[in-house]
Amino acid sequence: MSLPDWFRRLPWPILICAVALMLLGVAGIERGDELTGLGTFRGKQIVWIALSLPVLLVATIPSYRRWKSVAAALYVLSVVLLVVVYAFPPKWGSRRWIPFPLMNFQPSEMAKLALILALARYLAYRENFRQLTGLILPFLMTLIPLGLILKEPDLGTSLLFIPVLFSMLFAAGAKPWHLGLVVLLGVLLAPVLWLGMSAEQQSRVTAVFQQQDGGEMPGGDGYHLHQSKLVLSLGGVWGSQWTGTLLDDPLAYHLPACRTDFILCMVGERFGLLGTLAALLLYLVLYGWGLLVANRTREPFGRLVAVGIVALLAAQTVINTAMTVGLMPITGITLPLMSYGGSSLLFTATAIGLLLNIGLRPGYEISANPFRFGSRSGLKILRSAA
């Protein structure tokens, strides 16, 4: 693809929103540095952005269809790495990272993208998943990394695999009533899941239902929920960037993980309600345009990858923002593109690059109804120039 074609075809709203969210995240991290007085995470995040943007752009150059040939290998590698993490001592109470000299690598970030690619390859031209028994393999492919991540423990990341699976199955043409039966089965098995959760994970769920206004300062996970809502509200409409801090008590602004899990609170405190709404609007435009890319893509593998990426990032955004305001349990999940973290940002940038790649090449394979599997012989494939 020539450079002029690249500029003309690129879904610019996705790229612009992604860069804007990265910069907004840096501003929130900078505010977190000021309030905590510990570390200089802002400079480190700028370095990660400087590394991630080239990765994002490079991911748009070779055709995304090349990922199909390595999807299975990436999936197997990600599962192996999820097992390898258990060979290392726990850090902050969990085994999520493989230590390297320059960074701590988090295999679960790789597993999310690897699962999307593997599912897209499996579902692209198959008919069996339109039967109830045909859902077994896609669910097994999902439950293996989900279970390994849940055991780390990492409840938040493991929760992301479910909406990704259901979104891709629905986009591929699975029967809704089959998916409904699976949801019903999941609800019936919820008590088993509850018993399998650690005491810490259970306490995070119960903390949501024990919230109260006024009274003594709650402890444990209730403290995180209380402080996240307090710090977010202290920004008011305009934020401390323009009106200054409202309180002189530094403890009022104390918020653990303010530069990672609760980065939206830092943005809201610094830029107020308007800044928070601006961040949410950027996410809305990014994901809306991502679905538009999926809708315009007639090639099955590309469309499914696009749907999976949008479902993954959107679910992560919803869970993070909901836990910030106390609507969901604190799960230790980061906000895409905004939270501090190298592994998360690099793999999110790769996912965004793949989404742009698909938007650049919507017509590689075209069929009248690519997700209606009446007969394989009726599928016509047309190739167009990149």
pLDDT digit string, tens, across residues 48-93: 999 999 999 999 998 999 999 999 999 999 999 999 988 888 776 7
Whole-number pLDDT of residue 216: 66
pTM over 0.95, yes/no: no
Residues with pLDDT less than 70, the chain:
1, 92, 126-130, 132, 189, 193-194, 196-198, 200-201, 207, 209-216, 219-221, 364-386
State yes or no: cis peptide before 90, omega within 30 of 0. Answer: no
CA distances from 185 to 11, 145, 189 (A): 39, 20, 6
CB neighbour class for 217 (10 Å; exposed up to 12, middle 13-18, buried from 19): exposed
CA angle, residues 43, 45, 46, in degrees to nearest 5: 65
Confirm whether 386 is domain-assigned: no
- What's the pLDDT tens digit per position in 149-168? 888 878 888 889 989 999 99
The reply to whether 383 falls in a domain is no
Domain count, the chain: 1
Residue 385 located in a structural domain: no
* Domain-located, residue 323: yes
Which residues, including other chains, have CB under 8 Å from residue 98's CB and lie 6 or more apart?
A: 81, 84, 85, 88, 104, 105, 106, 107
Selection from 3, 10, 2 nearest residue 362 by Cα: 10
**Domain that includes residue 238, residue range:** 3-211+220-378
Whole-number pLDDT of residue 281: 97
